[in-house]
Amino acid sequence: MAPSALPKAVTEAQTAGKTILELTGDDDQKYYFEKPGSKDIERFIATATKGKATQAVRNLVIEKAISPTGEELANEFKENPGRMVALNSALQAAVGMNEDFTAKKL
């Protein structure tokens, strides 16, 4: 996608120095998020470990959303609730939370 075709909110976030992630769904729908930082992930883990995994997922996705906005995503999740989990997984993968490691006893 050419930079001129990006949503205005995305170009404004880039101008502000934010790292933007473009996530594309199976239906070619594009979602733009600010890349989560360490404080975002710490808050996510703290909320999830209190037994509030759904709230942790929702908060991360809604708070980092640029386009569509968090409010627009909240409405979309009413119709497609699984999309919230898929977007969360993609955001986690972007910061290394879904990496696999192999352990070997030495």
Q: Is residue 23 part of a domain?
A: no
Q: Is residue 27 part of a domain?
A: no
Q: Is residue 88 part of a domain?
A: yes
Q: How many domains is the chain partitioned into structurally?
A: 1
Checking DSSP bridges between strand 65-67 and strand 20-24, what pairing results, if any? Answer: unpaired
Share of the chain above pLDDT 70, in %: 96
What is the structure's pLDDT at 86?
96
Please state, as a whole number, how many other Cβ atoms lie within 10 Å of the Cβ of residue 50.
Answer: 10
pLDDT, mean over the chain = 93
- Supply the pTM of this predicted model: 0.87
Residue (of 70, 63, 67) closest to 39 by Cα position: 63
Task: Quote the CA–CA distance of 55 and 80 in Å, as a whole number.
Answer: 16
pLDDT, average across residues 72-97: 94
Owning domain of residue 66 = 33-97
Q: Is residue 17 part of a domain?
A: no
Q: Is residue 72 part of a domain?
A: yes
Q: Is residue 15 part of a domain?
A: no
Q: Is residue 26 part of a domain?
A: no
> 13-53: per-residue pLDDT in tens?
999 999 999 999 999 999 999 999 999 999 999 999 999 99
What is the structure's pLDDT at 18?
97
Q: Is residue 11 part of a domain?
A: no
Residue (of 104, 105, 49, 54) closest to 84 by Cα position: 54
